[in-house]
A = this chain, B = another copy of it.
Amino acid sequence: MYLEKIESPSDLKQLNAEERGILASEMRNALLEKISVCGGHFGPNFGIVEATIALHYVFDSPEDRIVFDVSHQSYCHKMLTGRKDAYLDPAKYNDVTGYTCPEESEHDIFNVGHTSTSVSLACGLAKARDLMGGTENVIAVIGDGALSGGEALEGLDFAWELHSNLIIIVNDNGMSISDNYGGLYQNLKTLRESNGKAECNIFRSLGFDYCYLKEGNDVEKLIEVFQKVKDIDHPIIVHINTVKGKGYVFAEEDQENYHWKPPFDIETGKNKRTFTNENYDDIVCDFLLDKMKKDKTVVAMAAGVPLTIGFHAEKRKAAGKQFVDVGIAEEHAVAMAAGIAKRGGKPVFATHSSFFQRTYDQISQELCINRCPATLLVRNASVWGMNDVTHLGIFDIPLLSNIPNLVYLGPTNKQEYLAMLEWSIEQQDHPVAIRIPRNGVHYAKDPVDLDYSNLNQYKLCERGSKIAILALGDFFQLGEETSALLEQESGIKPTLVNPRYITGIDVDFLRGLEQEHTIVVTLEDGILSGGFGEKIAAFYGTSGMRVLNYGLKKEFIDRFNPNDILLENRLTASQIVEDLSLLAR
């Protein structure tokens, strides 16, 4: 086995053509074995095996800088840069992250997880190199799906200005996570079909030199092309045509579901676990499809991740023109939602909490200044969300809740979520965001309100005394648990409150609490800094009320177990009760 002997790219450089071919097979086998056990980005990595071998054969990493866009396709790169054991030895499968990570290797330049950043990052590396008199190659590897992101397009537009070495490898597999959307992809198709010869060329129109390689899964041809562009003195696009999921028949045939694949059986391609639990993705998708049938102006919108709200291929088809996937283009999605709402349509745009970070300006300017009644669904907004440092869902409360005019709602159960969504879609006064619970599907014990237009009305759930617990969103169940434990341990029955509105203070309600309470506890599933609890503390700043805010520390966390994080932040019922008993002394 050649892969076993590769400790660094210099070992790869010793192999001949035949051996490189065998290496590619070995790498695919390793990928297959590991992903079948751990899950992972299947398609992107299977497609880029040969290109990665050729890159490390031709260029001299880490002196030459290779920046992987999104970096979910860097598994092969990791194998060839000293981390093969994490793909060969099941005991070491967890030694590496799923993205480039400078803490792991000098061959990884950046922690990257969001799309469309590689060209700009590479422009910076090249600019600094030129100022400092360096001579290395700077290479960005970007997939076609990431090209539609505004940051990538800004970078591609700017790159011409460098007038020095910059090699951008466009790994074109004709496929984003889901389908590709937008005119740009027609041009890539035209370029593929003309073997790169078409005169009308998006890259050349941006000032780039350009070359095309049809055989993007042929190591030797890739080496030839990379050798030609190595040490080039100006920016160039190397457009290579690869096959997503190449080499595993099930993946080639079902590219969408093999983009990220959970653990599966290698023989059949079937997932090892099937999830039959009720979940909010399916619930909201079915709810929206039903709304659409009754109302032609309802539009569900996604930006490259339609499964965020359960829109599998067949459901997209069912929605027809009432479903729009704009591709990876979150800024456009929010602004377009503003336009739809302004013209009387009813847009519902969903994406991950972490990806809403791209849209602050559009939410503030296009939606909120203009009071366009669009609905935003914020998914994975939780300590139980994604646990890669680049995909954390714990920052959206400070991000969104401080924007004027936005109504950010935190439902605590299924009925409340759907009631809020129904209200939001039908009302015409506010841009509304809804933080989808992430702690499983809970059911309402009491009837939920249907009308949320009287803003910032907190809901009293259990009346008690001395201590009031304001338990926001999917930490409501933690509030219930804490409440029960407190009563059990201390005999104090606290008041339990569902604030519902993340974006506002219920002044009368909070003043009312002062009558029979001396302590207010806030619980929120996100960082405390800039969040909900601090506003409550500030409200009571000059009163005698004591306020304890529970939530997460302001820090980036990576590959964590949510339970550990909850413990660290004293976010368990028993810890909270303990804190309260100390305070009460």
Contacts and interface: CB of A to CB of B under 8 A. Distances in A.
Given A127-B339, A200-B201, A547 B554 contact: no
Contacts of A208: 183
Interface in A505-522: none
Contacts of A339: 120-128
A43 interface: no
Interface in A321-347: 321-322, 324, 326-327, 329, 331-332, 335-345, 347
A64 to B, nearest CB: 12
B343 A125 contact: yes
30 contacts: A110-B338, A120-B331, A120-B366, A123-B332, A124-B342, A125-B340, A126-B339, A128-B339, A128-B342, A128-B345, A148-B158, A151-B362, A153-B153, A157-B327, A157-B329, A161-B183, A183-B206, A183-B207, A183-B208, A202-B202, A357-B361, A368-B556, A398-B398, A398-B530, A402-B527, A402-B529, A402-B554, A405-B556, A530-B531, A541-B546
Interface of A: 65, 102, 109-114, 117, 120-132, 134, 148-151, 153-161, 181-184, 186-187, 199-202, 204-208, 296-297, 299, 321-322, 324, 326-327, 329, 331-332, 335-345, 347, 357-358, 360-362, 364-366, 368-370, 389-390, 395, 398-399, 401-405, 527-531, 533-535, 537-538, 540-542, 546-549, 554-556, 583
Contact of A329 (B102, B158, B337): B158
Main secondary structure of the interface of A (DSSP, over half): helix
A546 B542 contact: yes
A223 to B, nearest CB: 26
Nearest to A554: B404
The 5 closest A-B pairs by CB, nearest first: A124-B339, A150-B150, A183-B207, A160-B183, A128-B345
B207 A187 contact: yes
A111 B134 CA distance: 47
A427 B476 CA distance: 43
A293 to B, nearest CB: 14
A537 B541 contact: yes
Nearest to A403: B395
Contacts of A335: 117, 120-121, 124, 151, 155
A102 B370 contact: yes
A347 B332 CA distance: 29
Contacts of A65: 343
B530 A342 contact: no
A158 B537 contact: no
A469 B44 CA distance: 56
A124 B327 contact: no
Contacts of A327: 157-158
B555 A326 contact: no
A391 B27 CA distance: 52
Given A150-B331, A335-B155, A542-B548, A340 B205 contact: no
A361 B114 contact: yes
Name, among A122, A124, A151, the residue most crowded by chain B CB atoms within 10 Å (CB to CB).
Answer: A124
Contact of A336 (B124, B182, B360, B548): B124
Contacts of A538: 528, 533-534, 537-538, 547, 549
A149 B554 CA distance: 31
A168 B315 CA distance: 32
B542 A583 contact: yes
B549 A120 contact: no
Contacts of A548: 541-542
A150 B151 contact: yes
Contacts of A530: 398, 401-402, 530-531, 534-535
A154 B206 contact: no
Given A158-B336, A335-B124, A549-B538, A366 B201 contact: no
Contacts of A369: 111, 389-390, 556
A157 B131 contact: no
B368 A155 contact: no
A199 B202 contact: no
A517 B295 CA distance: 61
Given A111-B369, A200-B205, A534-B538, A123 B336 contact: yes
A335 B121 CA distance: 5
Given A131-B321, A202-B206, 13 more contacts: A124-B338, A127-B340, A128-B342, A150-B151, A157-B184, A187-B205, A200-B201, A205-B205, A360-B360, A360-B361, A365-B390, A404-B527, A538-B549
Nearest to A389: B369
Nearest to A366: B117
Contacts of A336: 120-121, 123-124, 127, 155, 158
A177 B56 CA distance: 43
A517 to B, nearest CB: 14
A112 B131 CA distance: 38
A547 B538 CA distance: 7
Given A342-B124, A547-B542, A183 B156 contact: yes
A360 B555 CA distance: 16
